[in-house]
Structure 1
């Protein structure tokens, strides 16, 4: 979507139905025990900033950047979280913009809904003319989608930060690099430390409550063709993290890696105990509960189908709210009253990331409380 005109009104459900090419990028495996990145950004003796992007290209700046254009869709919300402000993101992909406009970040940072969003097409081909008009200090662009989407920007004299994505290590690198660019390196260290602490908490809970290795299947796409998270996906990482197994990566799993297309018969053979519906289309639990095709599925018989939460960004892939996804999934798979509620965690995390305390209505929106209301155990997340 590269047109400069204002898009038609899009509902939150429509955003999910049509948003994201990201799920089709085949998110790579995450190993959350990978080391925190170092050297992603440094301040020079003269007060300037040097960063090395994920292509290995070194960029230098005389001062912290104040005008950022982000083309990869998760980058806009992460930059806002790192900055605790929407002041310095001046352009973003249209799918990033619609998610912010119709989601919680649009409420927290109303100015973000006025950010230019005609900067790239759905295939991330940059609209160089529109980007130049924004006078950015730096443009964030995919580094692994071919040189054709970076070269036009660099040929126009723009500084391009090339990024890759899919693992916890990538996320930590983005966080460190964005914080360096913005002149806030301590912010990255605190964000990563909090994520590391949350990971330790979830691992400790898994050791305490996990049992039986229930089968959990994540659908990246459901409404128009089935795609599940196969080997080397972030989704497989957190399914295993909470003590479950992903049938799509087991002995009878899919061929290939990333998000893989499957048919109904394959899913029925796997017979997952829990089904997760991602935020890359508009599928909801009732779509399975009401369809006789899915009636034999264990997850349908026991009403254990759940829409993944949607906060400052989708909780499905790696992002600034991934620790909340880990806690949410741990309690979905193994419900128990064992400490701070998820609602408390969301409120505390949002206070840190966005200087905002979500209301009960906000939490109902983030957690998809209404669509998930008929699913087993979801009352544990009620106010």
Structure 2
């Protein structure tokens, strides 16, 4: 069974707890020793030992419905999904509890603001995959984590090597806000940090509710046409209607021009011109991609978004805001200010500072907040002056 504690270790823990409690309760003396030894022998028999649960154990059900049994709160984890590393750290309270993470996420963590938020990030191992999300089982066996988090929607080929090596694994599924909330709940449970997880979930609910109270009543004509360029080069790709962006843009008061296509689909310039988005959002995965890149692209010069200077690089703090993360409520606030500036007046700079302290214990400076907001790259965009310090 994935994640089950090794039977020998479980038997030793059961026996140790039994002996300590027996002696404490009954003040065992020499004459009682044979009885103690006999009862201990019974406990280490395979059938009995495997039926006895660990007193401090945690049993969770991952997002594929598989049970995962842990000896106790996770102290050494590895996160293979890219958004999972910083999410785990926001719940763990101690960076030493993350032993390994996806190399792309690790590289992002080791630059700029993220390196200041996570100063201990350099000691986290990044050699935990071979390519993409294929696990490096040899490295993971060296690390001996209490739990490995892995994507569950990409096929069993990504999970089977972990299971076959005897590594405890829990699967996560990608796709929408409900699943993101389940990431938070499951990680909080595995860490024994249910209160931290509950606080994050309550924050998401509160921000979503405040935004939806305004945007739910908007007529279609009041919602600007929005396109997220999930890739600019070598080919244009857009976020379609089957991913988390659909939730984000509808919540914030916009309309996704690519709602009728799948997620991260390659499209030609003729299709983009036909959609004619009024707002273009840029991903955080392409190094060097800024609004200036789009303004300088002659193929896109006739778009309303370009002519009206409504091209924006999505912010990033402890992690990128374009995929779902523990910072999504900040993204929703930012996006609602971009799409519906007449309806929202969040004090976003203050919110960013508050949440970076709450999530990571990091005291953000005004320069840090400028970096989160990509102030230099976005400064010339319509309405971005409202984010000035």
TM-score normalized by the length of structure 2 = 0.82
Q: Is residue 234 of structure 1 aligned with residue 269 of structure 2? A: no
1:169 paired to 2:178:
yes
| Contact 2:336–2:344 (8 Å) recurs in 1 | no
The question of whether the paired residues in 2 share the 8 Å contact of 1:138 and 1:158 is answered with yes
Q: Which residue of 2 aligns with 1:11?
A: none
The structural deviation recorded for 1:382 is 0.9
Go from structure 1 to structure 2 and tell me whether the alpha carbon gap of 1:94 and 1:54 turns closer, same or farther (over 3 Å shift): same
Tell me the CA shift for residue 241 of structure 1: 1.1
Distance 1:160 1:89 in 2: 15
Match for residue 195 of structure 1?
204
SS in 1 for 2:96: coil
Q: Secondary structure at the match of 2:212?
A: helix
* Equivalent position SS for 2:150: strand
Calculate the aligned-residue CA RMSD, in Å.
1.8
How far apart are 1:359 and its partner, in Å?
0.8
Larger Rg, first or second structure (1 or 2): 2
Instruction: Give the Å deviation of 1:51.
Output: 0.8
User: What is the correspondence of 1:13-92 to structure 2 with a 5 Å cutoff?
Assistant: 46-92=55-101
Q: Answer yes or no: is the 8 Å Cα contact 2:239–2:245 preserved in 1.
A: yes
Say if 2:264 is the partner of 1:259: yes
Query: Are 2:266 and 1:274 aligned?
Result: no
More helix by share: 2
The answer as to whether partners of 2:176 and 2:247 remain within 8 angstroms in 1 is: no
Q: 348, 359, 363: which one pairs with 1:357?
A: 363
Alignment of 1:333-348 (within 5 A): 333-336=339-342, 338-348=344-354
Give the Cα–Cα distance (whole angstroms) in 2 for the partners of residues 374 and 293 of structure 1.
21
Deviates more, 1:265-274 or 1:287-296: 287-296
After the TM superposition, which of the residue ranges 331-340 and 59-68 deviates more from structure 2?
Answer: 331-340
- Alpha-carbon distance, 1:245 to partner: 1.0
- For the Cα contact (< 8 Å) 2:242–2:263, is it kept in 1? yes
Q: 1:292 Cα deviation (Å)?
A: 2.3
Runs (4+) of structure 1 exceeding 3 A deviation are 207-211, 336-340
Match of 1:136 in 2: 145
Residues 166, 317 of structure 1: 8 Å contact kept = no
Q: Is the 8 A contact 1:85 1:354 kept in 2?
A: no
TM-score, scaled to structure 1: 0.84
- Compute the displacement of 1:344 (Å): 1.0
Q: Secondary structure at the match of 1:218?
A: strand
Which residue does the alignment assign to 1:17?
Answer: none
**Partner residue in 2 for 1:320:** 326
Q: Which runs of 5+ in 2 are unaligned?
A: 1-52
User: Is the Cα contact below 8 Å between 1:85 and 1:109 reproduced in 2?
Assistant: no
What residue in structure 2 maps to residue 297 of structure 1? Answer: 303
1:272 is displaced (CA, Å) by 0.7
Q: Does 1:93 align with 2:102?
A: yes
What secondary structure is seen at the aligned counterpart in 1 of 2:94? coil
User: Which structure's relative contact order is higher, taking Cα pairs within 8 Å and 6+ residues apart?
Assistant: 1
**Residue 220 (1) aligns with residue 230 (2):** yes
